[in-house]
Amino acid sequence: MRSAALIFAALGDHTRLLLLARLSAEGPLSITHLTRGGPLSRQAVTKHLHVLAGAGLAASAHRGRESVWQAEPAPLQTARQCLDSISAQWDAALGRLRDLVEE
């Protein structure tokens, strides 16, 4: 559950969410490529990528002078399971309440 919080925290920034979406959609990209067009500096992008990496959501590989980053979707599964678990608890509580009322 603590790791789920880490993942959510990494996703809990609009800029990082966009970065992750781009990485997922456009495949492996270098840092400068990710920087182009956007309003962020290269270092800002780098920092965000490292946060994503800290949560296991992205990984980098060095190719020549470039650092190529890629999305790692596995932790998304963990996050989903956490959401499902909370929803399930909620449903169970609702069910118990209904049973209580029906008695």
Partner DNA sequence: AAAAACAGCAACCAATAGGTTGCGTATTAG
Partner DNA sequence: CTAATACGCAACCTATTGGTTGCTGTTTTT
Please say which residue, 35 or 78, places its beta carbon nearer to a second copy.
78
SS (H, E, C) 35-77: HCCCCCCHHHHHHHHHHHHHCCCEEEEEECCEEEEEECCHHHH
Q: Closer to DNA at the Cβ: 63 or 98?
A: 63
Q: Work out how close the CB of 12 gets to DNA at its nearest, in angstroms, rounded to a whole number.
A: 7
How many residues bind to a second copy according to rule CB under 8 A? 36
Tell me the C-alpha distance between 42 and 34, whole Å. 8
* Nearest in space to 49 (alpha carbons), one of 59, 40, 38: 59
Kindly state whether residue 49 participates in binding a second copy, applying the rule CB under 8 A: no
Residue 87 binding target from DNA, a second copy, none, CB below 5 to 8 Å by type:
a second copy
Task: List the beta bridge partners of residue 69.
Answer: 29, 60
Decide if 69 contacts 49 (C-beta within 8 A).
yes
* Window 59-88: contact mask with DNA (x via CB under 7 A): -x-xxxxxxx--------------------
Residues of this chain that bind DNA (CB under 7 A): 9, 13, 15-16, 30-33, 35, 39-44, 46-48, 51, 60, 62-68
